[in-house]
Structure 1
């Protein structure tokens, strides 16, 4: 009896393992020419990814191998982002659980290289409603009434109220403020309401300029998760310096933070915060690439990580 039970358990484990597919997915982000970009592969806008294989020494080494094979781009800073294991994930085959372990990787501008295997694309091509640097984006003005109509079409009053409240919080209407960290909630709400191509309801989807470019499977949802994480993290950890050249002007640093956040920052407040936190130090050199008078060049003070817990480059009040 004991031997039979052992054999049965082994069979169950083998069958379960066969039905689980584990993928490693990378969101490789950079900021070039004042634009936040993500590394994609193929013609269908996919994130670099590949299965976790027995030959991989670890999850991170497996991810680095796949990204370098598919893009020719070696990874620097990397952190685990989220594990996606929903039973009804897009692209999941019947009777198979697809698990994707995602990572966020940051690359400096001077390390960005062109490749026939991969493409650097603005992440606002996928999320046009997220870029508020030039004011309220046109996409937002088109999506808001459609979301209201979707909320009003609910079958009962409580559901209508719940949908309306979720949409108002995420997309900042009914007098609510814009929260740049709700990137994932906004995309998932658009998916639920059938306003993005991945939802499979093309007759209700606006143009790509409004609903954004679609991505393979649920890669756009994964990218939204990475954007939300980065937007939150730059407020309490100095990860933005992973995207900067070794030396930079304070204006270049500000423009990088603005590109990531999708909103403008009050210049005096930003500089005061950076100086108060002693995140940077002068190099004694200047830059002539500003278009005006020479600007001081700075570098990140790595010693600050050892001295104390850093508050990060908090986003001050937006410009009027």
Structure 2
């Protein structure tokens, strides 16, 4: 590779064809030396320093071209400040401070195309050479979609497939290969989770409204039941037969409401049409007054020969000792 040459950086299988090399990139003499100089991993600046010095004395353009080409076909990972670089981000100005590592796993062009297609199903758009840099974003999109597909009851549990956890610790081409090998499960899960998420978005507001409405009904039931218990303990009320008591409860509006039916959207709609939330609250507020009216009606329903009911005013005060109690 001569000075001023620029390899193709679009994920091509033959990025060095512009310099007359149409064989495997890793077999090019410069590429082999770059891989050897890198060892387990090294910064671009260190690789340049070694290959630009004796006994190599190569031009920097040749070293940079090999690094870009090897990264473009997935033979190297390139990270800066801990973040993977897309192929388009790796230019000569970035090489010096970029950390390079050789990939043990090699992916074919067909595999990379399939991975990009899979990414797009989760709305992660990747061009050639961007697969590794966007793998973490794709994984985050899967987690987000899974979280939207479930939740607390009555929603189903959040999906947690084994393969999703297994993808987490991987990086580089190992990560991409694992995604490729799990592509059938991933694609099926994306479709299923999207359906569940859409149902949750449509049905959750209905459930929340039904829950809020049911709280109002419970409030009226509690107050009405307390009022009924108070009447049952009254001596005048107990003199009436059940027919008379039921008639009074009906007349003053103290009959217990029927349990609210909100199991379906249609049932909820009918319940709201029949009685608004404000009407439920008004009913709750009116219960004490209705109970007093029921007592008045109970007196009127007593047979004529029953002794009259006399109201006695009791003087309030505090008894200080036993003598006061006796008096």
Normalising by structure 1, what TM-score? 0.20
Higher RCO (C-alpha under 8 Å, 6+ residues apart): 1
Q: Which has a greater percent of strand? A: 1
Point out the structure with the larger helix share: 2
Larger radius of gyration: 2
